[in-house]
Each structure stands twice: as structure tokens, then as C-alpha cells.
């Protein structure tokens, strides 16, 4: 008796099981501020606090959420910025604004992230402690400006109202025009004469005169 051969994809099964375990583990993990700043370098944590205070000061309706990879900032349901504090020596800020809107002289620590993230946005990278402290004021001013513009664009998009429909002017009904066609009746009497009866409106007098003129000329 031949053994039944079962075609079993162990690799797919392994990946599926691993995916399920990661999902189950994520459900039990608590993502909060402590999760994001734990075991991070002091200067990146301090920078995070400065950025956090500035972002939340832009509007009382800004909502902050702690996700697994980053801290998300949104305005009335629309994401406009997030901060990711890495375990290595860096902190990154993503802002929802087109790179082309930042002007011509854009610092090297800012780059277009649209192609990688598959949506409009720029990535601001703080990768070097010494470089940051040497240029802290300028780098923060630039970063704050970009975040503010990203927020303002999101705010305008959210607050933008639909263009109201123009008031339709009441149109008076078109009066029906009575169309009158001239009528011509010919009556032949016993004497061999023809009586012509031509019926036409007074308003069409010019037409009558033209007909008579052409008849006489002929």
C-alpha cells in the first residue's frame, strides 16, 4: 500500500505562527511614554520633551497617542506629526508637509520621506549629540517651524468648508408664444372673378405690405 504524500509548506506555516505570536504579544504590551523613553539616551529624551511641549501648545484639540514604534500627534483625527526615539543615539520627527514647500536652502538633517513612507512628508533626523548642541537653537527653530506648518495645513484641511452652492435665482416661466400663420382663401364667383380673402394679424402688417408689393410688381 502506497503512502499518501502530503504537500506541506513548513516555511509558510512557520511565518504564520510567528506572525500570530507577535500579534498576541503586542496585545499584552502597554505602550506609553515610559515605554518610549526607557533605556534611551538622556539628550534624546530631553529633546523629545521639548518637541512634545511645543506640539501640544499649538492647539488644545491636538491628541497624542503612544504606538509601538512612535508617538503620534493628530488634530481632530488627522495625523500631522510623529516622534520616534531610537535605542541608538538618534531621534526622528516626521511631519506631514511636502518637501518642495520648504524652500531652496533646506538643511541636511531634513530630507524628503515621501517615497519611503508612501505619503507626503519630511523626516527630521537628530543623529549626533555634539552636532545638535552646537546648533541647538537653529535646529529647534527650523524643526518647530516645519511642525507648525504641517499642523496649519492639517488644520486648514479640517476646517475648510465645502463651497456653498450658489443661490438659484427663481426663473420666471416662459410665456407661450401664439404662432399665427396667415391664411389665404380663393373664391371663384359666377362671373369668372376670383375673390381673394387674406387673413393676417395687425402686427404682421409689414408682411402684408411686402406681399402686396411683390404681387403688384409681378
Local confidence pLDDT in tens for the 218 residues of the chain: 554 444 444 455 555 655 555 555 555 678 999 999 999 999 999 999 999 999 999 999 999 999 999 999 999 999 999 999 988 889 999 999 999 999 888 999 999 999 887 889 999 999 999 999 999 999 999 999 999 999 999 998 877 655 454 554 565 565 554 555 666 666 666 666 666 666 766 666 666 677 666 665 55
Distances from the Cα of 49 to the Cαs of 37, 40, 70, 158, in angstroms?
10, 13, 14, 27
Instruction: Sheet containing 78-85: give its strands across.
Output: 62-66, 71-75, 78-85, 91-95, 122-126, 110-112
Cell readout for 112 is 524628503
Neighbours of 59 (CB within 10 A): 13
| The pLDDT of residue 30 | 82
**pLDDT (0 to 100) of residue 209:** 72
| pLDDT at site 27 | 56
Class of domain 17-159: alpha beta
Q: Give the pLDDT confidence score for residue 8 in this predicted structure.
A: 42
**Strand stretches in 160-217, DSSP E:** 183-188, 194-199
> What pLDDT, on the 0 to 100 scale, is given for residue 149?
97
pLDDT of residue 10: 43
Strands 122-126 and 110-112: antiparallel
Q: Identify the CA nearest to 97 among candidates 54, 154, 156.
A: 154
Q: Which residues make beta-bridge pairs with 55?
A: none
Annotated domain spans of the chain: 17-159, 183-217
C-alpha cell of residue 125 = 533626523
Amino acid at each position: 500500500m502506497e503512502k499518501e504524500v502530503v504537500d506541506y509548506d513548513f516555511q509558510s506555516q512557520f511565518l504564520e505562527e510567528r506572525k500570530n505570536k507577535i500579534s498576541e504579544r503586542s496585545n499584552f504590551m502597554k505602550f506609553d511614554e515610559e515605554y518610549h523613553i526607557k533605556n534611551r539616551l538622556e539628550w534624546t529624551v530631553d529633546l523629545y520633551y521639548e518637541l512634545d511641549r511645543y506640539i501640544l501648545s499649538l492647539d488644545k484639540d491636538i491628541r497624542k497617542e503612544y504606538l509601538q514604534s512612535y508617538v503620534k500627534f493628530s488634530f481632530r483625527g488627522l495625523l500631522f506629526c510623529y516622534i520616534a526615539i531610537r535605542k541608538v543615539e538618534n531621534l526622528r520627527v516626521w511631519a506631514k508637509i511636502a518637501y518642495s514647500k520648504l524652500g531652496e536652502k533646506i538643511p541636511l538633517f531634513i530630507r524628503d520621506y515621501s517615497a519611503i513612507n508612501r505619503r507626503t512628508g519630511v523626516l527630521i533626523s537628530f543623529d549626533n549629540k555634539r552636532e545638535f548642541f552646537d546648533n541647538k537653537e537653529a535646529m529647534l527653530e527650523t524643526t518647530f517651524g516645519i511642525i507648525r506648518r504641517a499642523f496649519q495645513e492639517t488644520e486648514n484641511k479640517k476646517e475648510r468648508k465645502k463651497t456653498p452652492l450658489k443661490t438659484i435665482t427663481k426663473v420666471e416661466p416662459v410665456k407661450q408664444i401664439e404662432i399665427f400663420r396667415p391664411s389665404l382663401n380663393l373664391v371663384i364667383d359666377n362671373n369668372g372673378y376670383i375673390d381673394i380673402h387674406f387673413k393676417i394679424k395687425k402686427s404682421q402688417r409689414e408682411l402684408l405690405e411686402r406681399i402686396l408689393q411683390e404681387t403688384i410688381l409681378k
